[in-house]
């Protein structure tokens, strides 16, 4: 096989760059495939694009099953001074979000049981307003309660390519200094 025409390849990278740039949401490989000429090597195009933006003010990131340009992490403190940023989610909302992320699809009653506290309207509103959670059907149990799950915007917000990027539950329980956990909990004395 002959090497691809370097001019063509450059053109493909430019097109991919423009496509990802123009969009405010992550662009999937599928969308790139549709945009680029037949037979284009998406992986090579992305690798080149990534190389070109390395160490720049705006970098390419793999987010929520797609590609997105976002400002470089180290610039955050300097940008904070000039760009108005929204408030962070309060603690109760963050904990509820973590529970939904790990246990989805999960009902409100289950979230409340894990937290050992009622879920307030303010928390539910904050998570819905921030587009972090969405209804995911109903559970086929008496009362058919609504089940909740996280949105693609949740992944994008926290810079996750995938739900599998969340740390494993077992790893979360390790507190510094890490103590190896036995297989079975030891009954209390």
Binding residues for other proteins, rule: CB under 8 A, are 18, 21-25, 68-71, 73, 76, 79-80, 83-89, 91-92, 94-99, 101-102, 113-118, 125, 128-135, 151, 156-160, 166-167, 169, 172-173, 175-179, 181-182, 185-189
Q: Which does 60 bind (CB under 5 to 8 A by kind): other proteins, its own copies, none?
A: none
Strands (E), 54-179: 58-63, 66-71, 106-107, 133-138, 146-150
Shortest spacing between CB 33 and its own copies, in angstroms: 10
The answer to whether 113 touches 162, Cβ cutoff 8 Å, is no
Q: Kindly state the smallest distance separating residue 31's Cβ from its own copies, in Å.
A: 7
Tokens found for residue 3 = 């090497």
Q: What is the crossing angle of helices 42-53 and 6-22, to 10°?
A: 70
Instruction: Please work out, in degrees rounded to the nearest 5, the angle formed at the alpha carbon of residue 26 by the alpha carbons of 78 and 106.
Output: 100
The pattern of x and - marking residues 105 through 134 that bind its own copies according to CB under 8 A reads --xx----------xxx--x----------
**Out of other proteins, its own copies, none, which partner does residue 188 contact, by CB within 5 to 8 A per kind?**
other proteins
Place of tokens 């989805």: 104
Chosen residue from 19, 92, 114, 130 binding its own copies by CB under 8 A: 19
Taking the least distance from each CB to its own copies, the nearer of 43 and 169 is: 169
Task: Dihedral sign for Cα 174, 177, 181, 186, please.
Answer: negative
> Cis ω on the peptide bond leading into residue 46 (within 30° of 0)?
no
3-state secondary structure of 27: strand
DSSP state, residue 164 = G
- Smallest distance from other proteins to CB 12, Å: 18
Q: Does residue number 28 form part of the binding site for its own copies (CB under 8 A)?
A: no
Distance CA 163, CA 20 (A): 22
> Is residue 47 a contact residue for its own copies (CB under 8 A)?
no
Residues in contact with its own copies by the rule CB under 8 A: 13-19, 21-23, 31, 34-35, 52, 55-58, 69, 71-72, 75, 78-79, 81-83, 107-108, 119-121, 124, 135, 137-138, 143-146, 164-168, 171-175
């Amino acid at each position: 096989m002959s090497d691809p025409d370097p001019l063509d390849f450059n053109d493909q990278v430019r097109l991919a760059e423009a496509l990802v740039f123009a969009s405010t949401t992550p662009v999937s490989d599928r969308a790139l495939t549709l945009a680029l000429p037949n037979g284009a090597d998406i992986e090579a195009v992305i690798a080149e694009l990534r190389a070109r933006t390395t160490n720049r003010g705006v970098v390419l990131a793999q987010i929520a099953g797609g590609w997105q340009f976002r400002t470089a992490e180290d610039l955050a403190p300097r940008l904070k001074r000039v760009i108005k940023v929204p408030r962070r989610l309060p603690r109760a909302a963050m904990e509820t979000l973590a529970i939904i992320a790990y246990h989805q699809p999960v009902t409100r009653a289950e979230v409340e049981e894990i937290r050992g506290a009622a879920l307030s309207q303010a928390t539910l509103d904050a998570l819905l307003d921030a587009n972090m959670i969405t209804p995911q059907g109903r559970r086929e149990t008496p009362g058919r309660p609504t089940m909740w799950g996280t949105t693609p915007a949740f992944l994008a917000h926290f810079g996750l390519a995938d739900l599998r990027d969340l740390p494993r539950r077992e790893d979360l329980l390790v507190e510094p200094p890490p103590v190896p956990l036995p297989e079975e909990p030891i009954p209390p004395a």
